[in-house]
Amino acid sequence: MTRVEIFLCSFSLLQLIHQSHGVTITSLHRNVEVKEFETAQLSCNYQVESDHARLEWKKIVGNQVSFVYFNGLLMEKYRGRAEMRGSSIRLRDVTREDMATYRCEVAAAGDKVDFAEIDIKLSVLVPPAVPTCKIPSSAMSGSRVVLTCKESDGSPPSDYTWFKDNKKLLERPAKDLAYINTSYTVNQKTGVLTFNPVKKTNSGSYHCEAKNKAGGPQKCSAQYMQISSRPSKGKGTNHTTVPPVKEDFKHTKSFII
């Protein structure tokens, strides 16, 4: 081995040792997904140089920060359904209220790098509920008609699918030959079905389904929507009669020639 090679190896080793100085944190899973009422494992593993380190866990929801584990103890609201596994947390019977970012923080005053932290995002999966659908029973052709479908229980938020006479309405009707001449749009994220304009051929039985990665689909009851033609205007029905102008001549003087 040449002197240059020896120097490079020694430099790399020194660089590795230098980088290992101080607090380091790792996690097996940075994004945790569990179904409601199941158990979540929030993994945090750390290494320090000194014999003394301070471990803390925090829950972050928006701008709100609260302690989960502090001064060697779990907070009271977590006792009974959470336990420490080393520096990691095992959380049982999770609900939607547990959805948050959890931060593991480690401080070691004697280390060269004396502080480190890592975030773990916890998502709780909840199946959708039966959606609420608003479908007009009748409308006039040529008008703009909006049908809505919504449910608020699902996590993550549900995707929505509309059906006419049990046939799925595509988000892009131009790709479906059966509806190529139909002017409608479907928003699968908001559950809004819009006809603009609506036509007589849009008459039919409509229902909507909601589903997400946790479960489904759940559907609302089908309702029939009848589209009627606008009444044609009869001939002569729009004539307007203008009364003649009455002229009033006043003679104030008479001239005799």
Q: SS3 of 192, please?
A: strand
Residues of the chain falling short of pLDDT 70: 1-21, 172-182, 232-257
What's the confidence (pLDDT) of residue 255? 36
Task: Choose among 152, 141, 140, 126: nearest CA to 213.
Answer: 126
Q: DSSP character for 81?
A: T
Residue 167, SS3 per DSSP = strand
Per-residue pLDDT of 102-156, as tens digits, reads 999 999 988 888 999 999 999 999 999 999 999 999 999 999 999 999 999 999 9
Domain 23-125 CATH (choose: 3.40.50.1370, 2.40.50.140, 3.40.50.970, 2.60.40.10): 2.60.40.10
The CA distances from residue 60 to 65, 89, 121, 174, in Å, are 5, 15, 10, 45
pTM, full prediction: 0.70
Q: Per-residue b/e over 218-231, b at no fewer than 16 CB within 10 Å? A: bbbebeebebeeee
Q: CA dihedral in degrees (175, 181, 182, 186; nearest 10)?
A: 20
CATH fold of 132-228: Immunoglobulin-like (2.60.40)
Domains 23-125 and 132-228 share a fold: yes
Domain boundary assignment for the chain: 23-125, 132-228
pLDDT digits (tens, 9 = 90+) for 75-86: 999 999 999 999
Tokens of 74: 């779990």
Retrieve residue 6's tokens.
């020896």
